[in-house]
Structures are given as structure tokens and as C-alpha cells.
Amino acid sequence: MKRNFKSKSIKTILDNMISGSNTLNSGLNNVKIQKLWEETMGTNVNSYTNEVVLKNKTLYVNISSSVLRQELSYGKQKIVELLNKEIGSEIITKVVLR
């Protein structure tokens, strides 16, 4: 007895799982943004960065240096555009520096 199974690639199966789960998708976006923050902002900014969290299209960044926090606050929109460009979609609309 022969069975006819259509084989699917693992990538297709994982993409279907991710697109069907908002929690999984937001978690993956959070990890991507954390990695992009490290890559795009450089080692000097990363040495003062304590936490990077994406919640509801808002990126919360905890920075230990008040001087750096103030300097970065002038370029919030530029940061949003840069990270969205790097990730390939508009998942960030606002940056909050703490």
C-alpha cells in the first residue's frame, strides 16, 4: 500500500507556524531588534545599553549614561528609520529612551 505525502521544506513549515502565532512572531522580532541594535549602534553605545525591548511597535532602550541618553534622544526618528530599514519592515514606530 502506497501513501502519497506531499513533502514540505522545514522552512515552509516554520514560516507557517510563525505567521500563525503572534506571540512567537513578536518574540522573534524582539530578538532581531536586539541584535540589530548591537550591530548598528556600535560598541560605545552598547557598553552603556542595559536593555532593549520591543513592545507594541515601541522600542524601549535602557541606557545607563544620561549624557548618551540625551544625545540619542535628538536622533530618535533616525534610529527608527535605520532599524526598520535594516529589518526590512516597519515594526518600530517609536523609541523610548530610559
16 pLDDT above the threshold of 80: no
In the chain, the percentage of residues whose pLDDT exceeds 90 is: 65
CB-based burial label for 62 (10 Å; 0-12, 13-18, 19+): middle
For residue 3, pLDDT beyond 80: no
d(CA 37, CA 52): 8
E strand spans, 1-98: 49-55, 58-63, 94-97
Scan for cell 536586539, then name that residue: 34
Task: Report the predicted TM-score, pTM, of the whole model to 2 decimal places.
Answer: 0.80
Across the chain, mean pLDDT equals 89
* pLDDT tens-digit map of 20-75: 766 777 788 899 999 999 999 999 999 999 999 999 999 999 999 999 999 999 99
